[in-house]
Amino acid sequence: MIVREQFNSVDNGLLVLAPAKINLSLLIAGKRPDGFHEIETVMAKINFYDEILIQPGQSPGIELVCRGPCWAPKGRENLVFQAAEMLLESCGLSADVKITLTKNIPAGSGLGSASSDAAAALLGLDKFFNMKSDGTILAKMAARLGSDVAFFLGGPLAFCTGKGEKIHTLNENFDFLALLFIPDVNISTKEVYANYKHNSGLYRKLSGRINSHIRKNRIDLLTKGCVNMLEESSFSFSENLAELKDIIESLGIGPCCLSGSGSAMFCLVESGDEGKAIEYKHKVEGKVDCTSTIVRNNVW
């Protein structure tokens, strides 16, 4: 497997990779007093990336250029812009910088691309301007930007709690190969959580089992459950997603798991055999109307 480094010097700039993630498990513990939901999730980075190129600016302030096959908000609506503004202001640095975001990971897919982009911007700008910021400071900024951003500052595998911002790094070297399915469906995370109906009994049952696997460093056993308590709520917004899952599982590939609030799903290839993964990919082509790609766990 070819490993791509996160930071690469390019002419007068710095190219930073922002990896997607999948949720190997996702439990909802209940609703918090602040209106958010308490979650328990094991997240893993995968080798599917957005790219951020940081260069000296030719115009005053922060210039953000978005390109690539997938849509991204422009200007201050983009978390990359917000991350850059937050970091530069915190250091009292007035700099002219051009940031080019190449968007390969679709928004609303449950793959964490906006959060990953924000984390990559923080790390990349810190490196580009040689700030050497304390990790605690970056983590606080990440928490302000979004619940999943802190995960992408570290990794590649972590147990995340709270709103997702409390990160407990898992040191186990869990290598995996997966077939990733990306339907042409945009799912609103906010709406999925608003529509969620909590089952406290199911949560207690699943939490005990999953936490036991984590304590024993048996992430492989955890993944066999294919647990995501947001699935029912997510599928209620698109019957096509439920149908897609049924079709994939009927082909004998294995359990098909929803990532985050959707719409992306994945099947882990237990053997880790790339030839088997390619065989599975060919098997589903023509049977499902969505993009499929083979991914591995990211090593950083």
State yes or no: is 21 an active-site residue. Answer: yes
Of 50, 103, 148, 245, catalytic: 148
Distances (CA, A) of 213 to 44, 141, 222, 254: 16, 31, 6, 20
Separation between Cα atoms, residue 197 and residue 201, nearest integer Å: 12
Closest listed residue to residue 26, CA positions, set 193, 175, 146, 138? 193
State yes or no: is 148 an active-site residue. Answer: yes
Separation between Cα atoms, residue 24 and residue 223, nearest integer Å: 6
Separation between Cα atoms, residue 166 and residue 171, nearest integer Å: 16
Of 21, 45, 103, 245, catalytic: 21
Which residues have a catalytic role annotated?
21, 148
